[in-house]
Amino acid sequence: MKVRRGPDGVHLFDRKTGANILLDEEIPPQSSWSTSPRQVSIALTNACDLVCPHCYAPKQKAALDSKNVKRWISELDEHGCFGVGFGGGEPTLHSDLVDICKFGQSQTNLAITMTTHGHRLNDALLSQLAGNINFIRISMDGVGSTYETIRNRSFDSLLKILRNMRDVIPFGLNYVINSQTIDGLDDAAQIAEDVGACEILLLPEEAVGKGTKIDNVSLENLIKWVGSYRGSTRLAVSSGGADSFPTANALLNEVELSAFAHIDASGNLKNTSFECSGVAIDSTGVMSAFQRLNKEYIEEIG
C-alpha cells in the first residue's frame, strides 16, 4: 500500500482495490508530511467529438505532450500523490493515451483513472487499457432519449459498451444533475446495477463554461432522492455539491489544495478544473509549480 503522511495521520491507499486506511492515533511531524496534492486531474486534450450543452471544458485547441505528462506524474508519485485522473476534452482522442497509462501503471505507484464519454471504448482499446488503468468514469447524463438529446449519441450503443466493460476494467457512472436529467435517476441507478458499475458520481450542474447552476427545485429533489436511495451501487457526490449531503470526510485538517489540483491541457496547474487562472508548469517541474500555486492560495485566504 502507498503511504501518505499529513495533519490527520498516516494514510494508506491500495490502488488495486481502492481501499483507504487512516492511522490517526498519532500525528506524524510536519517535516514528514507528503508535499504533493493527494489527487490530481489532468486534461490530456481539449479536443472532443461531442458538443454537450452543459460542457465546462475549455474550447481552445490544446493537448499535453506525453513526455511532460510522464515526467509530471513521476514527480507527483515521488512526493506522495495517490492518483491521477485523465480527462479533457475527451482523453481517448489523445494519441498517446494508452502509452501514458502503461507508464503510469508500470513506472509509478499511482492509481490511474480516466473520465470519458465512453463511445470510443471499443474492444481493441479496452484490451489495450486492461491492466493499465485502475478505474474509468463514464459520463451518462440522463437515460434513453434524454441522454441522446444531450450527447447526440445512441444510448443503446453506450449500454453495449458498458456491458462489455463489466469484466474488463472497473468503472463508474458520472451523472450531471439538472432539470433535464433529474427524473432519470431511478433508471440510471437500475442501469448501474445491471451493467455492474461500482459507483454513481452525482454532479449537480455548475455555472462554468456552458453550464448553468442547478436550480433549487432539482437540487431539493436530488437531496430527497439520495435520502430514499436503497440501491446497491455506491453513491458519491462532487466536492462542489457535497455541502448539501451527509458526506464523510476523515481528513478534516487537510487543506483544499493538498487534497486536489488540476492540470489543464495547456500545462497550467490550477486549484480545480473550473478555475480560469493558474500557474504554468515550466522546466522546473510540477512540484515547483505546486509550491507557487500553494503560495498564491495561502495569500488569497489570508
User: What is the pLDDT at residue 58?
Assistant: 83
Q: What is the CATH number of the domain that holds 48?
A: 3.20.20.70
User: What is the pLDDT at residue 76?
Assistant: 97
Q: Which of 257, 149, 138 is nearest to 201 (CA)?
A: 138
pLDDT tens digits, one per residue of 182-233: 999 999 999 999 999 999 999 999 888 777 899 999 999 999 999 999 999 9
Please tell me whether the overall predicted TM-score, pTM, comes out greater than 0.85 for this model.
Answer: yes
Helical axes 155-165 vs 185-195, angle rounded to 10°? 40
Determine the length of the chain: 302
Number of structural domains, the chain? Answer: 1
Give me the sign of the Cα torsion angle 75, 237, 134, 155.
negative
Confidence of residue 302 (pLDDT cuts 50, 70, 90): low
For the chain, what is the mean pLDDT? Answer: 93
Q: Is 299 a residue whose pLDDT tops 70?
A: no
pLDDT tens digits, one per residue of 77-102: 999 999 999 999 999 999 999 999 99
Mean pLDDT throughout 17-37?
Answer: 95
Confidence of residue 67 (pLDDT cuts 50, 70, 90): very high
**Backbone Cα Rg of the chain:** 19
Sheet with 2-6, side-by-side order of all strands? 2-6, 9-13, 20-23
What would the grid cell of residue 130 be?
486492461
Q: Which domain does 168 fall in, by range?
A: 2-301
Share of the chain above pLDDT 70, in %: 98
DSSP for the chain, please give it. Answer: -EEEEETTEEEEE-TTT--EEEE-SSPPPGGGS--S-SEEEEE-BS--S---TT--S--S--B--HHHHHHHHHHHHHTT--EEEEESS-GGGSTTHHHHHHHHHHH---EEEEEE-STT--HHHHHHHTTT-SEEEEE--SSHHHHHHHH-S-HHHHHHHHHHHTTTS-EEEEEEESTTTGGGHHHHHHHHHHHT-SEEEEEE--SSTT--PPPHHHHHHHHHHHHH---SSEEEE-GGGGGGS----S-TTS-HHHHEEEE-TTSEEESSTT-S--EE--TT-HHHHHHHHHHHHHHHH-
pLDDT tens digits, one per residue of 253-265: 988 888 999 999 9
